Structure formats: C-alpha cells, structure tokens
C-alpha cells in the first residue's frame, strides 16, 4: 500500500595515467575523480584524488571528497608493498573528527628449514604448484641424478607465470584450490631450439594450504634431413613438392613434410624414437612410382641427434 518512487542518479568516474612528458614529479601522478548527480541539476557527491608511486613499493595518495549527506572529508593513504608484506595507512578528517586505520597483510610459507617464503597475500585456503623443469634424456618422465635441470625457463600456471631458478625449480602460489589449472613450459624460453616440453600442458588441481608437486620434463629432439630422388635418362634429379611423413613406430605420431625445389627435406625438433620415412601414397600414384620406406632412430641427447643422408629414390612402376 505504500507509494512507489524512482530516482535517476548519474555517476561519472575518470582516471588519468602518468604522463612522463610532464616532468619528473608531475609526470608520475595518477588522478581519479568522481561526480554523482540526481537528475541534471542536483549534485550528490564529488571527489578528486592524486596518487604517486615511489621506489621500493611506496605509494602516497591524497584527496578531498564531498557528499551531500556528510559534507567534506580529506583523505590520505600511505601504501607499502614489499616482498612478503603489504600495509595500508589511512587518515580521514570528517566533520572535525580525525580517524585513521592501519592494515598489514602477509604470510609465511615454510617448506623446510632451508626454504621459507613470504607472500603479500593470505595463504590460508589458497594453493600452489611447485616443481622442477629438466631435460629428460632417458624419457622416463622422472628427474634422475644424471639429468640436467633448466634454469630461467618460463612456466605458465593458469594466468600466472614465473621463471625457474638456477636449480631449475619453479613455484607459483595463490591459486584457487580444487580448480583445474593448466601448467605449461614456454618452449621459446628454452635454451635450445631442439628441446621441446614433453607435454603441451598439464591440468592439475591443487589442494588448499599446500603445494602440488609437479616436475616438468623437457625432451631433447633431433634434426633430420634427406632428399627424394628420381632417376631420369640424364641422371638422378631431386623431386620437388613431394609430401612425406615421419611416422613414429611406437606411438604412431607423424611429422608432415614437403620437399623443397631441389627435392631435399628437413625437420627440426623431432622427438626421440624409431621412425619410418614414408612418401604419400597419393603422390606415388600421381608420379607412377613406388618408394620403400626408410627407417631411422633419434636417440635422446642433450645436444640433439642429427640424422643426415636419408635419400629416398622413386622407382617407376613396371607397366
């Protein structure tokens, strides 16, 4: 039975980023403003704040705000964020009364007596992923004492990324527990173009208040080159544009290749294994030829195995 009323309120917020062209001090300032009106002519609130970042994680912010219901207030904020700790100190004067607050946040993570980490975010009910990136020379997916760890490799964990340390270790914290998260090694960050992550990505679900252990093997690949040849009355010549497959005998995985104008072919980053080089059946039918497959082996090697001289000769089919 009560009457219904409606109000139309318009709010406008602006933010300006630092402009270095304004100088050493003014060029580092960030401003934000707010204005609220009811209808087109009744001012409800307005504010303006200036902030500036300093070295070592310090930020100072000051401003003035006016609201119709409480009047004018002056505000100052001193924020600090250093490795393992963040704090916010605020001071507000309003209607002749000064109030302040002090907020500190941080957490300590103890993995062992020699491994203690500090974080600026809460650790309770959060999760993490940690492990090692290494060259898996024997292909068993486990880091062995004679295998090499990879420093400075980039690891992506969900929306986060980090670099491995000198021992090949990585660590990411502040993940949501029980939520599937993709973990992957950025192949462009690996020191050798012949090295490839053993898995494109791995989905993990970390438990709260702990790290999920996950080592990431990297497979050393090899280089393969050869030619597709065809005998002619004037001699043996290379055949251009012939589709080829490098087929792994164990997994059935293939690499698709195409010969160059001189009949040569080349593949880099071929994973270890036993392979057959097979000419496309459609190409053989078009050329009226046959070509028995050739077999070669890529052995795991940190420096990369090189297989050269794989010459396939196309033989004409007898009429």
pTM of the shown model: 0.60
User: Is 250 a residue whose pLDDT tops 80?
Assistant: yes
Whether the per-residue pLDDT at 246 is higher than 90: the answer is yes
Residue that wins the pLDDT comparison between 58 and 149: 149
Segment 145-161 shows an average pLDDT of 93
**Direct distance between the N- and C-terminal alpha carbons of the chain, in angstroms, rounded to an integer:** 100
Identify which has the larger pLDDT, 123 or 58: 58
Q: What 3-state DSSP class applies to 181?
A: strand
> In the numeric block, which tokens belong to residue 141?
């997916």
**Per-residue pLDDT for 63 more than 70?**
yes
Among 77-91, 137-151, 250-264, 280-294, which is the least confidently predicted range? 77-91
- Site of tokens 């029980």: 178
The one-character DSSP state at 57 is G
Tokens 């082996």 appear where? 297
User: Is residue 22 helix, strand or coil?
Assistant: helix
pLDDT of residue 274 exceeding 80, the answer is: yes
State residue 111's pLDDT score.
Answer: 65
The per-residue pLDDT for range 211-239, each reduced to its tens digit, is: 899 999 999 989 999 999 999 888 899 99
pLDDT in tens, 183-199: 999 999 999 888 999 89
Contact 134, 143 (CB under 8 A): yes
Cβ atoms of residues 184 and 197 within 8 Å: yes
The region of weakest confidence among 94-103, 167-176, 250-259 is: 94-103
Write down the pLDDT at residue 143: 92
* Mean per-residue pLDDT, 134-141: 88
**Six-digit token pair at 228?**
């597709």
User: Mean pLDDT across the chain, nearest whole number?
Assistant: 88
CA separation for the pair 242, 59 (Å, rounded):
64
Q: Contact, 230 vs 314, CB < 8 A?
A: yes
């Amino acid at each position: 039975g009560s009457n219904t009323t409606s109000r139309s309120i318009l709010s406008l917020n602006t933010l300006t980023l630092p402009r270095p062209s304004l100088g050493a001090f003014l060029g580092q300032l960030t401003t934000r403003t707010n204005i609220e009106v009811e209808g087109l002519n009744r001012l409800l609130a307005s504010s303006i704040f200036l902030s500036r970042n300093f070295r070592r994680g310090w930020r100072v912010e000051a401003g003035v705000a006016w609201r119709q219901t409480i009047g004018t207030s002056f505000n100052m904020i001193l924020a600090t964020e250093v490795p393992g700790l963040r704090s916010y100190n605020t001071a507000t004067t309003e209607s002749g009364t000064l109030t302040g607050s002090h907020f500190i946040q941080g957490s300590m993570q103890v993995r062992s007596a020699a491994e203690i980490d500090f974080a600026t975010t809460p650790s309770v009910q959060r999760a993490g992923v940690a492990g090692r990136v290494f060259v898996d020379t024997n292909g068993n997916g486990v880091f062995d004492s004679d295998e090499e760890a990879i420093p400075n490799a980039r690891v992506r964990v969900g929306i986060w990324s980090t670099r491995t340390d000198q021992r090949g270790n990585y660590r990411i914290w502040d993940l949501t527990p029980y939520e599937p998260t993709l973990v992957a090694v950025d192949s462009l960050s690996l020191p050798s173009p012949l090295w490839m992550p053993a898995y494109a990505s791995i989905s993990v679900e970390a438990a709260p208040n702990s790290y999920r252990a996950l080592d990431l093997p990297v497979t050393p690949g090899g280089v393969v080159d050869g030619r597709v040849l065809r005998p002619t009355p004037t001699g043996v010549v290379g055949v251009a544009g012939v589709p080829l497959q490098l087929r792994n005998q164990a997994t059935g995985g293939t690499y698709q290749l195409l010969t160059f104008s001189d009949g040569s072919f080349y593949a880099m980053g071929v994973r270890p294994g036993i392979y057959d080089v097979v000419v496309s059946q459609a190409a053989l039918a078009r050329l009226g030829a046959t070509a028995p497959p050739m077999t070669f082996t890529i052995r795991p090697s940190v420096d990369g195995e090189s297989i050269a001289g794989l010459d396939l000769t196309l033989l004409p089919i007898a009429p």
